[in-house]
């Protein structure tokens, strides 16, 4: 059974990430211009919140502030060590003035 997480689009600043409640560990929602991404808000290496990290708009990644691992916002794959396992990626869309993340 799927569920949805909704946040106001205005609450997701361009070039940054925010945390939303949902899923097993929270959701990290990142915005790059008109593109939105939603991944699990938990680094696969040290279980640290990714939403605290810096978003790289050119590489489309987010960096974990604990040990510096970066993850693709597109597919959740780790881009550098020490993380070796991907994080979950969730479908995201905009409805009116809300960002909607589907958790399956």
**Residue 85 exposed, middle or buried by CB count within 10 Å (0-12, 13-18, 19+):** exposed
pLDDT confidence of residue 23 = 86
Q: Is the pLDDT of residue 80 over 80?
A: yes
Fold of the domain built from segment(s) 3-103:
Rieske Iron-sulfur Protein (2.102.10)
Identify the CA nearest to 75 among candidates 59, 54, 56, 90. Answer: 90
Q: How many residues does the chain have?
A: 104
Q: Is the pLDDT of residue 9 over 80?
A: yes
More confident call, 104 vs 51: 51
> What digits encode the pLDDT tens for the residues 45-70?
988 999 999 999 999 999 999 999 99
- Write down the mean pLDDT value for the chain: 96
- CA–CA gap between residue 59 and residue 69 (Å, rounded): 13
Identify the CA nearest to 92 among candidates 6, 1, 2. Answer: 6
């Amino acid at each position: 059974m799927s569920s949805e997480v909704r946040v106001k689009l205005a609450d997701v600043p361009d070039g940054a990430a925010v945390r939303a409640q949902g899923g097993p560990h929270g959701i990290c929602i990142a915005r790059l211009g008109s593109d939105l991404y939603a991944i699990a808000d938990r680094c696969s290496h040290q279980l640290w919140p990714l939403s605290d990290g810096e978003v790289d708009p050119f590489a489309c990644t987010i960096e974990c502030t604990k040990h510096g691992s970066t993850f693709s916002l597109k597919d959740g794959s780790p881009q550098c060590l020490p993380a070796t396992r991907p994080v979950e990626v969730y479908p995201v869309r905009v409805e009116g003035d809300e960002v909607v993340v589907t958790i399956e």
